[in-house]
Amino acid sequence: MSASPTSTRAAGTAADAGTSSAKLRVVTALRRPFVRYVLMGVTGLAAILAIVAVVNNRPVRVDAATVERDVAVRVFGLGTVEARVMSKIGFEVGATLVELNADHGDRAAKGQLLARLSFGEQEAKVTRAKAALEIAEVNITRADANLEKARAVLAQKQEANRRKQTLVGRDIVSQQVAEETARDEAVARADAILAEAEIASTRAQLTDARAQLTFEETMLGHRTLVAPYDAIVIERFKELGTVVKAGDPIFTLVAADSYWGLAYVDEARAGYIAEGQRVDARLRSRPQEAFTGKVVRIGLESDRVTEERRVFVKGDNPPPRVFLGEQVEFLITVANLEQALLVPEAAVHGYNGREGTVWTVEDGRLHRRLVRFRHRTEDSRLEIVGGLPDGARVARRIEPGFREGRSAWVGEGGTP
């Protein structure tokens, strides 16, 4: 049984009416602001994700380090001008200061009289010691004469005793006379021994007198102050009329031409410093002038607080006038590299003074490599000495888009 045309048309009309109603509902919904904004947001987010995907997967440009030639590796140190020989000199005794012959900035030759104390009673002591020495010398002369006299008397008594003893055997002289001559000889011998002892005593007194005179003259010499070496007077502490005590400093002296620089270098940078290395220096008061020198001494003890090592530098062309304590910047050349691959320390991750991780470009892809370093330049670049595969290029800067395995292309020296 088939449907009539009339019923078929009615059914079609009903279906068309349903479809039109659905379309109308959709159009009505799309016309609502909330729905429209949601669709716009979804569309925008999809577009952004597509752009990010394209950007993140495109090859990134890498600024790669290149091999450099004739690289001077220099270590920086900050220090001051010092004097290798500096002395605070004064008197060994105390008295009134009566003479001053030098002042700040003067040059003094070795042995030149710089200052003098009042001689006072010390001159009298020297005079008394000289008199005692003269008396001791006179006593020596008298003792020598007494000894000669005693020896002569002894010789006479010996001869007389010998004759008497010969005659007593012949009964020419009595026994008593013989005994008396023997006694006289013994007394004369004792006198000679006493004279010899007196000679030794007077000689000891003479030695003592000479020593006392030397002592008093030395004490008198301590009242004059002379330059111990060719020097420059840095400071004068006392003025005329001052009563000084023993050991009070009167002048500060530095030996002429004994100036040198004292540089303080970080222990982490001081390992390659050695005596004889070239040094470039810049004085704070003469920043436009270039001064050179060489390392002459390295301190054997580092500062435990600042962790710095002391390096002493002797200048080749010091200025005509030097000021102690002036600040100086030192650059010590510790090595000259014929060729080197250098990378900024900022491009190294986990640098521990020996090794660290860098980004490399290998076969058009980014990779991270653990490499070894040796020297570090004054501008904080590190020399790579191992750990790189053949053909790898090292990034000089780390960009935000770096990740393992990403496509990359190399640009050098700031140009693609």
Percent above pLDDT 90 for the chain: 48
Percent above pLDDT 70 for the chain: 82
Give the pLDDT confidence of 230-274 residue by residue, as tens digits: 999 999 999 999 999 999 999 999 998 889 999 999 998 999 999
Q: Read off the pTM.
A: 0.66
Predicted pLDDT at 11: 47
CATH of domain 67-81+258-412: 2.40.30.170
Give the pLDDT confidence of 125-184 residue by residue, as tens digits: 888 888 988 888 888 888 888 878 877 877 877 777 676 667 666 666 566 666 667 777
Give every CB contact of residue 155 below 8 A, 6+ residues apart in sequence. Answer: none
Which range is least confidently modeled, 8-12, 67-71, 315-319, 389-393? 8-12
Give the pLDDT confidence of 70-92 residue by residue, as tens digits: 999 999 999 999 999 999 999 99
CATH of domain 85-118+223-255: 2.40.50.100
pLDDT at residue 123 tops 70: yes
pLDDT at residue 416 tops 50: no
Overall average pLDDT of the 262-289 stretch: 93
**Residue extents of the structural domains in the chain:** 67-81+258-412, 85-118+223-255, 121-221
Q: Which of the two residues, 272 and 411, has the higher pLDDT score?
A: 272
Predicted pLDDT at 37: 63
- What does pLDDT average to over the chain? 84
